[in-house]
Every structure is written in structure tokens, then in C-alpha cells.
Amino acid sequence: MSELDEAEELLAELGVEVAPLKASSHSPREERIIAGFEDILRFHQQHGRAPLHGEGRDIFERLYAVRLDQLRKLPEAQVLLAGVDTPGLLTAAAASQVDIDSLDEDALLAELGIGDNAEAQNDIMTLRHVRPYREIKAAEEVADRTRCEDFARFQQLFEQVERELKSGVRKTLRFGRDASIAKGDYFILGGQLAYVADRGEDFRTSNGHPDARLRVIYSNGTESDLLLRSLQRALYKDETGRRLTDPEMGPLFGDAPEPDDIETGTIYVLRSQSCHPFVAEHRALIHKIGVTGGKVETRIAGAEKDATYLLAAVEIVATYRLHNLNRTKLENIFHRLFGAAQIDLTIQDRFGNPVKPREWFLVPLHVINEAVEHIRDGSITQYRYDSNTAILKWNNTQ
């Protein structure tokens, strides 16, 4: 089964209707031309201009720019796309910065950043001949540090943070899952603690990206005045770059016990064997997520007589063993994350009373696996579940 078929089947399981494709009088070649131009039109709608070449542009804009150049030279495209080219992109006299006709196949792939070398395969979103400029630029901005004249104001802060790290009050997370940077944030960059002492007003770069000027203080008594995006790039490129968690958030799994903690706990995922029509139709996607401090088998004993388990036998499809686990925090996280996908189902208990079971969600098992991994590394608060696409999406606050 192809990836497209699997995606359509998943959407069908989730109850998302997929409109059937209308029959078209266009040839396959013409369909490809139209589809390719629609991408360019969407770019124009979002940015208010045609896509351009240039080493400062991302891979998709440069790809669309190459495509637009080729369409402008294609006689059949002028006629085929005349009805949809309302912005006049095909007739615009946009001078290309790259002579596409002079490039062979390898050079064209290199221009688009998708050459067949190992580096391009590992980093398809990075243009090969642009990367050195960005790395050098970021390195220069981060390395341009000066002596911090008022370091005495910050020294105690660094000492406190180091104590909090040793005691487990703060944790370190790999930078990237949450790429936001705010005043008061702490990071580890180049083996040193970095503190964002100030953040200026937000502005937009020439490419439309959000940015801001930062004052960053380092634990060695130096400081730098650099752009937010420069610090982000440096943290991305530093394999040891880390974000420090806020101590007020409180660790989900920590060393200090809390009243609702269980020393060793298990997150369990169940699948119902109920014959209820809705459950039977979506059985592979409906899961119950729970937490127990004992054995899961003991917890689900007698499921056939318990409305909590839909008055039917259940199958244990996944378990995750965790330590120093706060049950209340964890259950709240799952309900917040998958709340929109909680099934609305009413059944009758053994006495004929209507019951609405909780903790049953219309969520694929692989998404639950992914959520647990984000819980373990502390990044779960940066994600939300999109029930339309059945994937976890990162909440980009920038």
C-alpha cells in the first residue's frame, strides 16, 4: 500500500471526508504544469510577490523561482495558465539572478540544494553554497563578545542556576524542539551558561522572518549584542547546545517526591474489544490512556463488567515504565493534549444507566508513542495534537 493510500485510509478512519478527484480533460503533462504553478500562486498570495533567486532565500522559494523561469519560457504554459495567472506572473519581466539554461542537471540540483552528495541527503533544507556564509555569519556574531562591565549583577544568578542544575530543580533540554528565546531564558552554548538579559523590540527581516536584538551575558564574564536568529543558529549548530527549563514549571519526573508521586509507574494504552458499532469501525484508532502504580493486568481485571472499559475485554497495546512519576500532572497532560480527540460515546452499564466513559481517545498508537517521548524529554508542552491530520504539531511561538 502506498503512503498516499495509507494517508487516505487514516483520514477515513478519523472520519475526515476526502473529496473525490474530478475527472480532468487535461493531459498528465498539463496537470503537472497546473499543479506546479498553483504552488507559485500560493507563494505569491502569502508573500505578495513572485519567488526570487538568491542565497538568502529558502529552498522552496528558490525551487519556485526556477520553476517560474521555466514556465515563462514554455509557450504552452502561457495559454494553459492564462485563466489562473491573475497576478500576471508569467508575463512579468522579472530578471533572474541565475541563468538556468546554463546549468547542467547536477548544477541545477546544487542550486536547489538537493544534490546527490551525502551532505545534501542529510540536510536537504540547506543550500550547499549558502551554508558556509550562514555559519560564518553566525559564528562572527556569537564570537563578537566584550567584557561585561556590570557582571557583578549577574554572577549570583549564574551561581544559583548552577545549584539548581545540580539539585535537579532545572533540567537541560536539547535546543530545537522549543526554539523560542525570551528575556530571562538560560542556555548552554559552547560549554558556557548564557543568560538573555534583555530583548529589544521585535522586527521583521528583509525575508519576513521575526527577529530581535538581544543582550546575552555569559558565565565567563563576557557579553554580546546579537540578533535572536543568530543565537538560534548557534544553538542549533552546537551539538551540546541546551535550553534550561524554568524551575517554576516543576519537573514531571524529578528527584524530589510530591504527595501524588508514585515511585515506579506505568503509562498503559488499551484497545477495546467492544462490539459497539462506532468502536468496531474505528477499533485500530480508539485507545484508552491511563496511569497506574501497580500491574496493568490487575488494573484491567474484570473489564467486561466495568463501564470504564466499555463493558468489554481490552487489549494492552503499549506500556511505558517511568520513575518518580506524578500521576495527576501526567493525566492532565494527556487530557490537555488529546482532549479534542476524546470520543463522545454513551453506553449503558449493567443496570441500564447511561455512562460516558473517559480517557478514550481517537488517536493513532504511533502518535501516543511520540507524545510519551516528548514527555520524557520535557518538551511536551510545546506540542499540540491536530485531530484533522492525526499528527503532533510544534507550537511555534515566534
Mean pLDDT over each residue of the chain, to the nearest integer: 75
CA neighbours within 13 Å on the CB side: how many for 198? Answer: 8
d(C-alpha 194, C-alpha 157), whole Å: 11
pLDDT at 5: 62
Please list the residues that pair with 210 across neighbouring strands. 204
pLDDT at 251: 44
What is the DSSP code string of 294-363? S-HHHHTTTGGG-GGGTTS-EEEEEEEEEEEEEHHHHHHHHHHHHGGGB----EE-TTS-EE---SEEE-
- pLDDT (tens digit, 9 = 90+) per residue, 20-74? 544 557 777 787 788 788 888 888 888 888 888 876 677 677 778 888 888 888 8
- pLDDT (tens digit, 9 = 90+) per residue, 222-256? 999 989 988 988 888 888 888 888 764 444 444 44
Buried/exposed 314-340: b ≥16 CB within 10 Å, e otherwise:
beeebebebebbbbebbbebbeebbee
Check: pTM over 0.85? Answer yes or no: no
- pLDDT (tens digit, 9 = 90+) per residue, 142-162? 446 888 999 998 998 898 888
Query: Is residue 105 helix, strand or coil?
Result: helix
pLDDT at 357: 80
Check: CB of residue 113 under 8 Å from CB of residue 126: yes
d(C-alpha 68, C-alpha 221), whole Å: 51
Percent of the chain with pLDDT strictly greater than 70: 71
H or E element in which residue 99 lies: none
d(C-alpha 304, C-alpha 274), whole Å: 9
Q: Return the number of other C-beta atoms located less than 10 Å from residue 60's C-beta.
A: 13
Domain boundaries defined on the chain: 26-122, 132-249, 261-394
Q: Grid coordinates in use for 40?
A: 507559485
Nearest to 199 by CA among 185, 213, 218, 180: 213
- The tens place of each residue's pLDDT in the chain, 398 residues long, gives 555 566 566 656 655 554 554 455 777 778 778 878 888 888 888 888 888 887 667 767 777 888 888 888 887 888 888 888 888 888 765 444 445 455 554 554 444 444 444 333 333 333 333 434 444 444 444 446 888 999 998 998 898 888 888 777 778 888 876 678 888 889 998 878 999 999 988 888 877 778 899 999 998 889 999 899 889 888 888 888 888 887 644 444 444 444 444 455 788 999 999 998 889 999 999 999 988 878 888 889 888 888 888 889 999 999 887 765 666 677 778 888 888 888 888 887 777 777 778 779 999 999 998 888 887 776 777 788 888 888 888 765 43
